[in-house]
Amino acid sequence: MRSKVYLIIGVLVMGLVACNLAQLTTIATGTPVPVANSPTPVANTPISIIASPTPMPTDTNMPLPTPPGVPVVSSPALVHISFQDASHGWGVASDGSGSILRTVDGGTTWQNVTPPGLTGIGLTTGLSVLDLNTAWVLVPNADFFTGLLYHTTDAGLTWTSVDAPFGGGYLQFLDLSTGLALADRSAAAGSQGVEMFQSSDGGATWLSVFNDDPNRADSSNSLPLGGIKNGMTFLDANNGWVTGSRPVDGEVYLFATNDGGIDWAMQNIPLPAGYAAYQYLPQAPVFFGNDGFLPLIIDLSTTTVLTFYTTHDGGATWTGNPTNVSSLVAPGHYAFADALNGWCWDGSTNLYVTTDGALTWTKIATSLNLGDRLSQLEFVPGASGGFIGWALTGLDDAGHTQLYKTTDNGSTWTPLIP
């Protein structure tokens, strides 16, 4: 299954390029973080929830029928999308007071499933999607250090809400119970403080297991205060990675944990001879089972390139060859549909495709040129072979975004929200 990690934008915009999970292990160390409110059921009016003879499926990834009366939003200003298959997807929109949306027809129409009374939704809203019916929405408070976390398991028909001890950072759920969050705590020139939280009850309560604040007695520097963090990925409840950057030649800022984020260590990434003189910007790894990709932007002094290191042992080791020009692409937005097929696009005419797990890339002609307006790229396997993709633009001066769809692997794009 495709692994995803979702960015929650906080005080600091963490990362250069927008981009692109398990058995629970209980960890006894760490400081419990009290949550003021127990989960509070929220009825998603004006939808009428009627006791149905058809119970919710045990497998939450089975699509639920859409009840009548779910409002449709026309041409929403989408700022984030997450598709689980060719038909089903989630979205965050920023127009008006904002909205949480779902689509069941591949993005042609969008249904408003916003928790009632929730406003202020937009670029700072975090969205973490587990499957067709299960998602978490995090809305930061004014301080961006705390927030309100909403959770649904019935495709947005009903929600529960709790206070969260974080409001900005990175949030990931591995299953219905296990959640991890890397919270943004402070920022200064060349450094950024973070705090690691775990949840074993679907986000109802959180346990603080790591922080690098030198003013706290329980702090640790195994994940250094120095460096700007730009991503987090966990493969399971124990093994995870944090990426970032600091201006050190020959350093790949990739830190790994094997105890759920309590202890961290820099992971070695083999570089070719002569490459110690360059600077690197890794992005959060993407996993499909034990197969994974580590995006790596390299400043080669005269140009900047993007390559992808790969793993086939769950991230224990990474291999790559940035001296091989066929493995390099221009930095852009990328997406992988599985362990072999991926796309990288700068939004203009340079759309690159790989079918061999990022070993080689081929440039293909495309009907769409978005210039520098592309903000997100998504691809999933199609129902009958091939791949379906979506391209989302950023907000323009009028607060509008555009959404395009491809059904031929990226050559031809059709506007869904023009």
Residue 48: exposure state from Cβ atoms within 10 A (0-12, 13-18, ≥19): exposed
Rounded Cα–Cα distance for residues 20 and 5 (Å): 7
Instruction: Label residue 268 by pLDDT band (50, 70, 90).
Output: very high
* 158/10: higher pLDDT: 158
Mean pLDDT of the region 399-414: 97
- Residue 194's SS3 state is strand
Of 178, 171, 133, the residue nearest 152 (C-alpha): 133
Rounded Cα–Cα distance for residues 139 and 162 (Å): 11
* 270/56: higher pLDDT: 270
Least confident of 45-59, 60-74, 277-291, 326-340: 45-59
How much is the pLDDT for 244?
98
Rounded Cα–Cα distance for residues 336 and 352 (Å): 12
Helix then strand then coil, in percent of the chain rounded to 5, is 0, 40, 60
Instruction: Label residue 68 by pLDDT band (50, 70, 90).
Output: low
* CA 314 to the chain's CA centroid: 19
DSSP state letters, 250-292: T---EEEESSSSSS-EEPP----TTGGGSEEEE---EEETTEE
Check pLDDT > 80 for residue 247: yes
Give the chain's length: 418
Mean pLDDT of the region 365-391: 95
Mean pLDDT of the region 337-362: 96
| Phi, then psi, of 337 in degrees rounded to 5 | -95, -25
Check pLDDT > 70 for residue 127: yes
Instruction: Label residue 292 by pLDDT band (50, 70, 90).
Output: very high
Cβ neighbours, 10 Å, residue 250: 11
Q: Could you tell me the fold of the domain covering 6-22+73-417? A: Methylamine Dehydrogenase; Chain H (2.130.10)
Check pLDDT > 50 for residue 178: yes
Considering Cα of 183, then 186, then 190, then 195, what sign does the dihedral take? negative
Check pLDDT > 80 for residue 6: no
**pLDDT, tens digit, 9 for 90 and up, residues 131-174:** 999 999 999 999 999 999 999 999 999 999 999 999 989 999 99
Instruction: Label residue 59 by pLDDT band (50, 70, 90).
Output: low
Of 373, 374, 326, the residue nearest 352 (C-alpha): 326
Q: Are the beta carbons of 336 and 345 closer than 8 angstroms? A: no
What average pLDDT does the chain have?
87
Check pLDDT > 80 for residue 33: no
**pLDDT, tens digit, 9 for 90 and up, residues 179-213:** 999 999 988 889 999 999 999 999 999 999 999 99
* Segments making up each domain of the chain, as ranges: 6-22+73-417
Rounded Cα–Cα distance for residues 328 and 342 (Å): 13
What is residue 383's DSSP assignment?
Answer: B
